[in-house]
């Protein structure tokens, strides 16, 4: 069994390595005016880069799974390829929110006015994963001048955002073990790509469960002026601060 601190390959669909997207490319992608007209699609892509969450987990995400006061997401379910919602096995995975991720969700909560799905489609239902990739992401990549094909001729997919998350977090100094927990994955990338960048970053972050996100929690976080961070482990705060460069251009 691979140890928690030993990186291994992240795979895209069918086990092929996913191609990450570089900062400059992300900046061009987020600036696509047509993508901006579809904020649910834009924000689901942004949150994928900011959290490393899987597409099915993001599509199934509800506001009850989000805790902005404690800057966490509790991943309890995912949307399968057949379009049915499936409960995650075992305990829910807790995903830390970086400052950028928390700010994105806070603004999106106010803008969307939704109390159900975080990223609903135009009729309030689940986003279609294939539609997001083929009819939204790929045209946006084309308009932004970003090649759909990545390394060794493999096509970029929505899953490529997970590789981007892993690369950016480790470049920002995040511990390998923290990045692994964020991804909910036993391995995070090829040793040649990630091990050297993560070497020496040994700060550990602690995850804990917390109440669900609600409008009252937003109000408390606003009135507290960041007091929700009190009581957090200092190492966790330091890990988050080191990730403030996560989406320069995001």
* Cα–Cα dist 57/144, whole Å: 26
Express each pLDDT in 75-121 by its tens digit.
Answer: 999 997 655 566 666 678 899 999 999 999 999 999 998 889 999 99
Q: What is the dihedral of CA 223, 42, 25, 181, to 10 degrees?
A: 60
* Contact yes or no for 57/78 (Cβ under 8 A): yes
Window from 19-23, 126-130, 137-141 with minimum mean pLDDT:
19-23
Per the prediction, the chain carries an average pLDDT of: 74
- Binned at pLDDT 50, 70 and 90, residue 232 comes out as very low
> Which structural domains are found in the chain, ordered by start?
13-241 (1.10.443.10)
Task: Give per-residue pLDDT as tens, 129-187.
Answer: 999 999 999 999 999 999 998 766 778 999 999 989 998 999 889 999 999 999 987 65
Q: What is the rounded distance in angstroms from the CA atom of residue 101 to the CA atom of residue 71?
A: 9
**pLDDT of amino acid 231:** 37
CA neighbours closer than 13 Å in the CB half-sphere of residue 154 = 17
DSSP per residue, 144-212:
TT--SB-GGGPBP-TTHHHHHHHHHHHHTT--HHHHHHHHT-S--S-HHHHHHHHTT----------PP
pLDDT over threshold 70, residue 128: yes
Smallest Cα–Cα separation from 4: which of 170, 166, 177? 177
Backbone angles phi, psi at 79, to 5 degrees: -100, 125
Q: Over pLDDT 90: what percentage of the chain?
A: 50
């Amino acid at each position: 069994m691979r140890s928690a601190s030993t990186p291994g390959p992240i795979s895209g669909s069918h086990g092929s390595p996913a191609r990450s997207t570089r900062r400059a490319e992300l900046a061009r992608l987020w600036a696509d005016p047509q993508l901006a007209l579809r904020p649910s699609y834009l924000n689901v892509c942004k949150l994928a880069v900011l959290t490393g969450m899987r597409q099915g987990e993001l599509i199934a995400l509800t506001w009850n799974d989000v805790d902005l006061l404690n800057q966490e997401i509790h991943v309890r379910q995912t949307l399968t390829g057949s379009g049915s919602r499936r409960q995650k096995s075992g305990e829910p995975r807790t995903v830390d929110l970086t400052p950028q991720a928390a700010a994105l969700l806070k603004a999106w909560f106010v803008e969307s006015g939704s109390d159900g799905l975080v990223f609903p489609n135009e009729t309030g239902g689940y986003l279609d994963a294939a539609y997001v990739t083929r009819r939204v992401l790929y045209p946006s990549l084309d308009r932004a001048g970003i090649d759909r094909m990545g390394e060794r001729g493999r096509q970029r997919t929505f899953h490529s955002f997970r590789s981007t998350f892993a690369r950016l977090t480790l470049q920002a100094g995040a511990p390998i073990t923290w990045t692994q927990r964020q991804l909910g994955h036993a391995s995070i990338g090829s040793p040649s790509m990630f091990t050297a960048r993560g070497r020496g970053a040994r700060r550990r972050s602690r995850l804990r469960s917390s109440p669900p996100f609600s409008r009252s929690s937003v109000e408390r976080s606003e009135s507290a002026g960041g007091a929700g961070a009190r009581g957090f482990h200092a190492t966790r705060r330091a890990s988050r601060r080191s990730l403030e460069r996560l989406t320069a251009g995001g």
